Structure 1
Amino acid sequence: MIGFDKAFALIEAAASPLGAESVALADAHGRVLAAPVVAGLDAPASDTSAMDGYAVREAEVVALPARLRVVGESFAGRGFDGRIGPGECVRIFTGAPVPEGADRVIIQEIVRRDGDMALFGRASAGERFVRAIGSDFRAGDVLLQPGRRLDARAMVAAAAADRATVEVWRRPRVIVLGTGDELAEPGTAAHTPGSIPDSVSLGVAALIVQYGGEVIGRRRLTDDPASLEAAAGAALDEADLVVVTGGASVGERDHARAMFRPAGLALIIDRVAIKPGKPVWLGRAGGKLVLGLPGNPTSAMVTGRLFLAPLVAGLSGEAVGAALDWRPARLGAALGPCGDRETFHRAAWREGRAHPLADQNSGAQMALAAADLLIRRRPGEPEAATGDEVETLAF
């Protein structure tokens, strides 16, 4: 067995992007940039009003009161066609271009209107309420760097750059294989003696999508060696990554690895000295990556968060380490000393502290839903008291 840090380093080395492609910006949410997004225009494209009010020449409102003739209006997308002359102003709205000759906007709240005249009777604050041309960015500026995942905020920047398409890394295609005679489709287990709902593969599939992968298949398999080998071969033909859950017992019931041996399985990670999730493994078969996760729900989801999430993130073009953002937090309750395996406690964030859950069973499912943090404890660490600082990871 190897330690967690060594296993993560091997995951990082294996998780190379799968190739770039150009996609429409409207379809790019959640994808990772393979090339920078460069602005195609200035923003704003002209001096622009930051408020509703009146565009004026500042020199004409220095001495108050002042009366200026309103000679037109300027709207966003349809500006005033002309130049402001002496004794003139233009009604202007937020986002509208500032007319030629004007250099300030007076907010409407301190202006009185009398027909086609605007009356400026009191001094305004020093703010000019004009967003200068190019004050946000200039044409040619790099707005987003390669490796950035296009979240909601990045989508705004990419669209502002006036780009219809973006270069992104291809999503890894993933097939999830759930093994076990006992597994049944959720909704049918109560009517099938000896079966349990296949909860793990659904959680694993959701994790894959969350970190940038595309689930192209989720299949339940019985513990029949011939059918397992056939399913493994078919999955390797279709997917970039195959995730197999369960079947990781020692000896003759170790179906998860055996099903990939005809395809030349070469292990990268054998077992990892962690709790829960010691049976997790990673290998290559038929030129594709295969990740084996335990069958117990909590063990599967903990190892999925620790190994599958960064693996999928890396294959999709994101920095692998971005998926494991460890942050300090204070304990909401004491934890006993750690044993000889690195341990990841499930916890809930409450009242500004990490509270370890009472049920740490590797098969727990109700408690799993309550956990939104993992607390990392190194081998041999002593007891941690309430209020002590610990490493945590969003779960």
Structure 2
Amino acid sequence: MATAPELPCHAAATFDDAQAIVRQSCAPLGVEWVPLAKAGRRTLAGDAIAQIDSPRRDSAAMDGFAVRSEDFAGDFTRFVLQGESVAGGSQPLPLRPGAAMRISTGAPIPLGADRVVMREHARLDGKEVILPRTSGKPHVRPRASDFAKGTALLPAGSRIGPRAMVVAAAADIAKLPVWRQPRLRVMVNGDELVVPGNAAPDVDTIPDSLSEALLLMARQWGAKPLGTLRSMDRVEDLRAAAMAAMDGTDLIVVAGGASHGHRDLARRALMPLGLRMAFAGVAMKPGKPLWYGRIGRTHVLGLPGNPTAALTTARLFLAPMICALSGAGFDQALQWSEHRLLHDAPGRSDRDQFLCAAGDNAGDGVAIIERQEASAQMLLARADLLVERRAHAVPAVAGSRVRCLRF
């Protein structure tokens, strides 16, 4: 298991410095062997090695008739039928000279045969078959022509998706070595917050709109969500929730309680538990209150309470953290691309900005959504991209290209 790097101590950070700190601090958590059925979306910690040849025997690539090329005489040759070889069947008897064996796709080729003539070209005549001489493909898959036993089929670092799953299953692999998934809990605090569906009767309450979204994002990027702990706006309640959250948890996400108001109590509650801060505040918009630290080996990421700010900073920091901890690499979640602006974009901000935007149907154009408010929620339904606008950049005109991240 990798040793967690020591954290630097920063009171505040630029966006680039904050990302560098988190990148350096998040090492893969360790290796475990899991059954193939549970390896989906996991990252390989070692090569996946073929346990068998594929195919296991010389086999037919087409339905037809297995023959010996040397038995052809002229353009058409009459062959005596000699049994049948079927997929999943045992190795048939060797093919006699002048004989042809009916064969199905995937069936073992009889010893002596070197060609399969497709059934569409055959003409049956009682116990014989008339076949044309063909000069094209022999339609034979030699043993181990796809892969051989002992071959490294999927290299370490591969993510197991449906296509990789096919390869591993075909290679008769029962278990795979994968990096452990980070176990994640969300903590939210607020006297006014209630579980969605319970706010309507009381005008003084609001639904907790972040917890389920953060758990879903965590699951999408490879974490193992352990649920949400909610607490009131009291230091002792927050501390008790944090103590409960730390049990078996690699990453705690504090949603809210990450600002500078007198009711934002998260850091004060966690300091007695051994919280060591790496940075408190980032020069970015939205998301200035973002903070990060560790309690022992448990990573703690404090997100702003405003929904758009929380989701934006989670996409930029939580997603790459999960990828790094699960062995996929920090940059796996930060695949930036360039898109053409459909409208003018603002500039000359004193902080790096990450603006919610919507891509066009063609896939290249991007429009920054109006009324960028950290507390807004409806715009998140439209936003599928984040547009990067660096501090002090001049305004960008329509048609120019900007860096974007899939939101």
Q: So what's the TM-score if we normalise by structure 2?
A: 0.91
Count residues with an aligned counterpart. 394
Answering whether residue 51 of structure 2 is matched by residue 37 of structure 1, we say no
> 2:101, 2:60 → 1: CA distance?
11
Answering whether residue 120 of structure 2 is matched by residue 109 of structure 1, we say yes
Counterpart contact for 1:103–1:130, Cα < 8 Å? yes
Counterpart in the other structure of 1:369: 381
Answering whether residue 353 of structure 2 is matched by residue 343 of structure 1, we say yes
Q: Which amino acid in structure 2 is aligned with residue 33 of structure 1?
A: L
How much identity, in percent, do the aligned residues show? 45
Q: Which amino acid in structure 2 is aligned with residue 128 of structure 1?
A: P
Answering whether residue 233 of structure 2 is matched by residue 223 of structure 1, we say yes
Counterpart contact for 1:244–1:292, Cα < 8 Å? yes
Counterpart contact for 1:236–1:286, Cα < 8 Å? no
> 1:118, 1:259 → 2: CA distance?
86
> 1:16, 1:255 → 2: CA distance?
28
User: Which of 147, 154, 170 is the matching residue for 1:144?
Assistant: 154
Answering whether residue 317 of structure 2 is matched by residue 293 of structure 1, we say no
Distance 1:80 1:190, change over 3 A: same
User: Which of 372, 377, 381 is the matching residue for 1:360?
Assistant: 372
SS of the residue 2:380 aligns to: helix
Answering whether residue 250 of structure 2 is matched by residue 245 of structure 1, we say no
Consecutive unaligned residues in structure 1, runs of 5 or more:
none
Q: 1:80, CA displacement in angstroms?
A: 4.9
Counterpart in the other structure of 2:15: 4
Counterpart in the other structure of 2:8: none
Cα offsets for 1:136-168 (capped at 9, x unmatched): 211111111222221212212221221111122
User: Which of 129, 132, 146 is the matching residue for 1:118?
Assistant: 129
Distance 1:313 1:127, change over 3 A: same
Q: 1:371, CA displacement in angstroms?
A: 1.8
Q: 1:69, CA displacement in angstroms?
A: 2.1
Counterpart in the other structure of 2:98: 87
Q: Which amino acid in structure 1 is aligned with residue 87 of structure 2?
A: A
Counterpart contact for 1:32–1:169, Cα < 8 Å? yes
Answering whether residue 394 of structure 2 is matched by residue 382 of structure 1, we say yes
Q: Which amino acid in structure 2 is aligned with residue 51 of structure 1?
A: M
Counterpart in the other structure of 1:75: 86
Counterpart in the other structure of 1:50: 61
> 1:247, 1:193 → 2: CA distance?
22
Counterpart contact for 2:92–2:109, Cα < 8 Å? no
Counterpart contact for 1:338–1:377, Cα < 8 Å? no
Q: 1:61, CA displacement in angstroms?
A: 4.2
Cα offsets for 1:86-114 (capped at 9, x unmatched): 22112222222222111122222222223
SS of the residue 1:257 aligns to: helix
Q: Which amino acid in structure 2 is aligned with residue 225 of structure 1?
A: V
Counterpart contact for 2:275–2:293, Cα < 8 Å? yes
Counterpart in the other structure of 2:204: 194
Q: Which amino acid in structure 1 is aligned with residue 41 of structure 2?
A: G
> 1:95, 1:390 → 2: CA distance?
51
Q: 1:177, CA displacement in angstroms?
A: 0.4
> 1:113, 1:199 → 2: CA distance?
71
Counterpart in the other structure of 1:264: 274
Cα offsets for 1:52-111 (capped at 9, x unmatched): 222222233473122222212222211451111222112222222222111122222222
Counterpart in the other structure of 2:4: none
> 1:306, 1:331 → 2: CA distance?
21
Q: Which amino acid in structure 2 is aligned with residue 394 of structure 1?
A: R
Answering whether residue 322 of structure 2 is matched by residue 312 of structure 1, we say yes
Counterpart contact for 1:110–1:124, Cα < 8 Å? no
- Give runs of aligned pairs for residues 105-184 of structure 1, distance below 5 A: 105-121=116-132, 124=134, 126-184=136-194
CA RMSD of aligned residues (A): 1.8
Q: 1:340, CA displacement in angstroms?
A: 2.2
SS of the residue 1:237 aligns to: coil
Could you tell which deviates more after superposition, 112-121 or 232-241?
A: 112-121
Cα offsets for 1:122-146 (capped at 9, x unmatched): x656122222222221111111122
> 2:317, 2:81 → 1: CA distance?
66
Distance 1:96 1:197, change over 3 A: same
Counterpart contact for 1:79–1:99, Cα < 8 Å? no
Q: 1:306, CA displacement in angstroms?
A: 0.7
Counterpart in the other structure of 2:32: 21
Could you tell which deviates more after superposition, 156-165 or 62-71?
A: 62-71
Counterpart contact for 1:274–1:341, Cα < 8 Å? yes
Answering whether residue 221 of structure 2 is matched by residue 206 of structure 1, we say no
> 1:87, 1:97 → 2: CA distance?
19
Could you tell which deviates more after superposition, 123-132 or 342-351?
A: 123-132
Distance 1:18 1:385, change over 3 A: same
Consecutive unaligned residues in structure 2, runs of 5 or more:
1-11
> 1:62, 1:360 → 2: CA distance?
80
Counterpart contact for 2:253–2:301, Cα < 8 Å? yes
Q: 1:16, CA displacement in angstroms?
A: 1.3
Q: Which amino acid in structure 2 is aligned with residue 387 of structure 1?
A: G
Q: So what's the TM-score if we normalise by structure 1?
A: 0.94
SS of the residue 2:394 aligns to: coil
SS of the residue 1:260 aligns to: helix
Cα offsets for 1:16-49 (capped at 9, x unmatched): 1222222111122122222211111211112222
Could you tell which deviates more after superposition, 138-147 or 358-367?
A: 358-367
